[in-house]
Amino acid sequence: MSAAATNVAVIGAGISGAVCASLLAARGVAVTLFDSGRGAGGRMAQRREVMDDGTELRFDHGAPYFTVSSDEVARVVSGWEARGLVAEWKAMFACFDREAGKFRDFDKEGTTKKYVGVPGMNSICKSLCLEDGVVARFGVTVGKMDWLQNGSSWSLTSLDGKDLGNFDYVVATDKNVASHKFSGLTGRPPPLDLSVFPNLSTMFQDIPVRPCFALMLAFSEPLAMVPVQGFSFYNSDSLSWAFCDSSKPGRVCLPPNSQSWVLRSTAEYASKG
Nearer to ligand FAD, 55 or 267 (CB): 267
Residues that bind ligand FAD (CB under 6 A): 11-17, 34-37, 42-44, 62-64, 66, 141-142, 173-174, 176-177, 191, 212, 214, 264
Give the three-state DSSP class for 170: strand
Q: How far apart are CA 1 and CA 8, in angstroms?
A: 10
**Which pairing describes strands 7-11 and 169-172: parallel, antiparallel, or unpaired?**
parallel
Task: Identify which of residues 64 and 110 has a Cβ nearer to ligand FAD in the complex.
Answer: 64
Give 35 or 109: the residue with its C-beta nearer to ligand FAD. 35
Q: How far is the CB of 186 from ligand FAD (least distance, A)?
A: 9
State how far the alpha carbon of 37 is from the alpha carbons of 133, 146, 169, in Å.
Answer: 21, 22, 22
Coil, helix or strand for 77?
helix
Closest distance of CB 214 from ligand FAD, Å: 5
Shortest Å, Cβ 104 to ligand FAD: 21
Least distance in angstroms from the C-beta of 257 to ligand FAD: 26
For residue 58, the minimal CB distance to ligand FAD (Å) is 15
d(CA 15, CA 46): 13
Single-letter residue type at 52: D
Per-residue burial over 125-148, b if 16 or more Cβ lie within 10 Å, else e, is bbbbbeeeebebbeebbbbbbeee
Radius of gyration from C-alpha coordinates of the chain:
21
Which is nearer to ligand FAD, 110 or 191 (by Cβ)? Answer: 191
- In the complex with ligand FAD, the residue whose CB is nearer, 17 or 120, is 17
